[in-house]
Structure 1
Amino acid sequence: MSGVKQRAVSLDLARGFMLLLITLAHAPLYLYGAEPGMLQRVAGASFFDQIVNLFGILLIDNRARAMFAVLLGYGIVLAFQSQISRGFSGKEALAILRRRSWVLILFGIALAVLIGGQDIFMAYGIAILLVGWLLPRSNRALIRTFIIVTACYAVVIPILWGFNMQDIGSYSFPPEFAATDTYLSYTLERLFTFPITPVLIHLMFPVLPPVLLGMWIAKFRLLTNPELRLKTLYFIASIGLSVSLAGALPLTFVGTGWQPPLFTVGILYGIHILTGFAGGLAYAALFGIIGAKLTQPGRYTFTLTALGKRSLTFYVWNEAILVLLLSPVALDLGGRTSNGTATLIALGVWGLSVLLAAMMEKRNRNGPLEVLLRRLVYRRS
């Protein structure tokens, strides 16, 4: 029973916190009316805005996505092992996992096209399809694949982003929305462009390396039985955070007295993305440590783990609320909101999801998307 409790605390706390990071990362993408700033972040109109941007670049951007990918990799190993323990063969367990991948992809299409949110389900569903063959293989095969995949990305990503920033012609990304967008026009646009989204994510914002890292730590049960691996978790957290901060720091100087060429900024952004893998792994390790230390979870732990248990449902919920509040197709706050205010809105959106998840937990209600996922994946003959 102890192992089960620790697993629930570590994994669900991490998933609940991950939703906060992702909501904070996505809110600035809707601020089409603000002055362009650095990459996806708009310029800071106040000291608070500038602090938000600084912390965003150092701790959130390209780190929240990596943490999601690490937890996904960990989760698919647990799902595979669970099926094996229930008497399924390796082939049958992989077939179930592939069905799960396709359902995630369908959820992602609905999120991107019908809701207009920032989708990562399609990319992660494809990632599971690409790495699932490693589940019955040895750790050596997993490590070898990680080294090869990461080495390829390490060479390609900075160069790709160098040329991409030159093509953009600015330090900032173009806004995702325009003031003239309507729900119909944006939906029709997404209907034609959604197949490109997961391809671009895998090409420009790679998720395979952190997924493989999550699979690797799952083989050693670092989050399932964290109390047995505390020294390892402390080591991963300290090294990972150091690498993550070192890779993010150069971007904080761009535009503040330093005006490097666009190609250089692209290379720095590529490094920012690559070192985000270490950041995502470190965040997961930190919650392994927290889970090992919590002997009597209290109220705040209860609410955050309730959210983590329903992370699929509340990821979509948070994205939908951000679209409703900030996009020009709905309430249009993004056309007249600063980065700092958008961060406060994101905190409020996440806080509301925590309260709703806690209410569902008290009533023993699962997340509706989790229920739907299980019904579609675990077909009964």
Structure 2
Amino acid sequence: MEMVPLHLPGTLRGKPAPESGMERTAARIQEIDALRGFALLGICLVNAQVIAGVYGLPTGPFAVGDHVAAWLVTALCTMKFYLLFSFLFGYSFTLQIRAADRDGVPFARRHGRRLLGLFLIGAAHAVLLYPGDILMTYAALGLVLTAVRRLRARTALRLACLIIAFLTAVFLVIGLLTVVLAKPDPGAATDLAARDTAAYRGGPLDIIHANVGLYREMAGGAILYGGHLFAAFLIGFAAGKHRVLEEPARYTVWAKRILGLGALIGLPGSMFMAMCENGPLDDRFAYIGRAFGILTAPALTAAYVCGLLLLMGRARFGRRLRDMLAPAGRMALTNYLLQSAVLAFVFTGYGFALYGRVGPGVLALGCLVLYGTQLLVARHVMARTRYGPAELLLRRITRGSSARGSERALGQGRAAT
């Protein structure tokens, strides 16, 4: 993401946008929904490894396939798709500001209620389903973004780059100290796997207790990685100020450049991170790998964004791709929670209790099936309603009685037609 230029010229080469930004802001921006829908795939592939209890290097008859699957998920997905969601969160923040101005309501108060709703949903998600929940972190960082919302776009981009550079340095120092001072301890991973396996194959109370414990253990990492998320917030915020996703055709030339440069920078760094986490390097190099990931993942995420936007810019194919992804993105919060619910039912004591019994290869195939199902279901649901269940709940928390009034008016309008 840091590959977005510090100054975006008012007119760039490319075809003129078919609609003005103001016209598109009043309705759904399909590009944002499609990007959210695409991000759900990477989020599912990464989160599933935690929920399913995938530990260490794969062994057994499918070890090669499992190793390739784990390696590819780390290289292509880990740290990239939460950055994509974070970028879209920052972009949507500018849309929320415009909506509040359009409705004549105080932005900070309305957005504060939205963040509270997001935090409460995230807390329930973390306790019941997935301790790696990111919604609570989004809610906390959203307060910070609200406080600095008057930043200029150029300042926001510079601050994002400084944050990324600082985090890279921190992880690199920790990584070098770990390589020099630490010794490999295979037994520690085995003990951890045994502890979690017993808990997650147990009853609901065992699962909840394990989720709470793991969330506490992850709290320190969440604080460190929170800076990475906030950097993506700032980049999305800057892009929103320039209405990049509302008029993507204006930035076609920049998109092509960022696609090439982002892949050139992002892929080598991501491959090195995968080597540190999935072999051939051992666990002592994990922090060094993460340092390279923090530095280069934004570039690969930017390449994903620009590549998808360029594909959606193609006439017939682009419309089909956007129509396939956008409905899932319109109910992204619902789909995010549903992914955790389905995976928890399959892999924990809530259902089949397959925790630790499925390798990365089969798990990745299962995620593809789950994601494909979500695309089909979302298209069916969004053809009949405006909001997914979780989105409707969050909207009602955010807007209160005014949300229910607008929903009734919308329903009456549909009935009249």
Name the SS of the counterpart of 1:221 in structure 2.
coil
The residue number in structure 1 matching 2:334 is 313
Q: What is the one-letter code of the residue matched to 2:291?
A: G
Tell me if the contact between 1:307 and 1:353 (Cα under 8 Å) persists in the aligned partners: yes
Query: Aligned partners of 1:60 and 1:332: how far apart in 2?
Result: 26
Q: What is the one-letter code of the residue matched to 2:371?
A: W
Query: Aligned partners of 1:171 and 1:213: how far apart in 2?
Result: 42
The residue number in structure 2 matching 1:227 is 249
Matching of residue 202 in structure 1 with residue 219 in structure 2 = no
Aligned-pair distance for 1:211?
1.5
Matching of residue 285 in structure 1 with residue 330 in structure 2 = no
Give 1:36's match in structure 2, choosing from 31, 40, 56: 56
Aligned-pair distance for 1:21?
0.8
Q: What is the one-letter code of the residue matched to 1:211?
A: F
- CA spacing shift, 1:94–1:235, aligned 2, 3 Å: farther
Unpaired runs of 5+ residues, structure 2, are 1-17, 403-417
Query: Aligned partners of 2:39 and 2:59: how far apart in 1?
Result: 25
Give 1:27's match in structure 2, choosing from 48, 53, 67: 48
Query: Aligned partners of 1:83 and 1:168: how far apart in 2?
Result: 54
Tell me if the contact between 1:234 and 1:285 (Cα under 8 Å) persists in the aligned partners: yes
Name the SS of the counterpart of 2:355 in structure 1.
helix
Aligned-pair distance for 1:252?
4.2
Aligned-pair distance for 1:54?
2.9
The residue number in structure 2 matching 1:74 is 91
What count of residue pairs does the alignment treat as equivalent? Answer: 372
Matching of residue 372 in structure 1 with residue 389 in structure 2 = no
Matching of residue 108 in structure 1 with residue 122 in structure 2 = yes
Unpaired runs of 5+ residues, structure 1, are none
Matching of residue 249 in structure 1 with residue 249 in structure 2 = no
Query: Aligned partners of 2:394 and 2:52: how far apart in 1?
Result: 32
Query: Aligned partners of 2:55 and 2:213: how far apart in 1?
Result: 29
Matching of residue 348 in structure 1 with residue 369 in structure 2 = yes
Q: CA RMSD of the aligned region, Å? A: 3.1
- CA spacing shift, 1:350–1:256, aligned 2, 3 Å: closer
Q: TM-score, normalised by structure 2?
A: 0.79
Instruction: Deviation per CA, 1:319-362: give whole Å up to 9, x if none.
Output: 11011112344312233211111111111211221122111122
Name the SS of the counterpart of 2:35 in structure 1.
helix
Aligned-pair distance for 1:104?
0.9
Q: What is the one-letter code of the residue matched to 1:149?
A: I
Tell me if the contact between 2:259 and 2:306 (Cα under 8 Å) persists in the aligned partners: yes
Give 1:240's match in structure 2, choosing from 251, 259, 262: 262
The residue number in structure 1 matching 2:150 is 136
Matching of residue 334 in structure 1 with residue 355 in structure 2 = yes
- CA spacing shift, 1:326–1:311, aligned 2, 3 Å: same
Aligned-pair distance for 1:180?
4.1
Matching of residue 120 in structure 1 with residue 141 in structure 2 = no
Aligned-pair distance for 1:102?
1.7
Query: Aligned partners of 2:217 and 2:277: how far apart in 1?
Result: 31
Give 2:163's match in structure 1, choosing from 149, 153, 157: 149
Give 1:84's match in structure 2, choosing from 86, 101, 104: 101
Q: TM-score, normalised by structure 1?
A: 0.86
Query: Aligned partners of 2:215 and 2:51: how far apart in 1?
Result: 18
Aligned-pair distance for 1:144?
3.8
Tell me if the contact between 1:161 and 1:204 (Cα under 8 Å) persists in the aligned partners: no
Aligned-pair distance for 1:197?
4.6
Name the SS of the counterpart of 2:313 in structure 1.
helix
Name the SS of the counterpart of 2:245 in structure 1.
coil
Give 2:197's match in structure 1, choosing from 159, 164, 178: 178
- CA spacing shift, 1:197–1:258, aligned 2, 3 Å: closer
Q: What is the one-letter code of the residue matched to 1:245?
A: L
The residue number in structure 1 matching 2:407 is none
Percent identity reads 23
The residue number in structure 2 matching 1:2 is 19
Query: Aligned partners of 1:196 and 1:253: how far apart in 2?
Result: 25
The residue number in structure 2 matching 1:324 is 345
Matching of residue 50 in structure 1 with residue 67 in structure 2 = yes
Q: What is the one-letter code of the residue matched to 1:178?
A: T
- CA spacing shift, 1:115–1:30, aligned 2, 3 Å: closer
The residue number in structure 1 matching 2:409 is none
CA radius of gyration, larger in: 2
Tell me if the contact between 1:52 and 1:340 (Cα under 8 Å) persists in the aligned partners: yes
Query: Aligned partners of 1:122 and 1:7: how far apart in 2?
Result: 25
The residue number in structure 1 matching 2:10 is none
Query: Aligned partners of 2:128 and 2:146: how far apart in 1?
Result: 29
Tell me if the contact between 2:131 and 2:214 (Cα under 8 Å) persists in the aligned partners: no
Instruction: Deviation per CA, 1:55-98: give whole Å up to 9, x if none.
Output: 2122111111111111111111121122223334xxx2122222
Q: What is the one-letter code of the residue matched to 1:208?
A: F
Tell me if the contact between 2:167 and 2:291 (Cα under 8 Å) persists in the aligned partners: no
Tell me if the contact between 1:116 and 1:187 (Cα under 8 Å) persists in the aligned partners: no
Q: What is the one-letter code of the residue matched to 1:367?
A: G
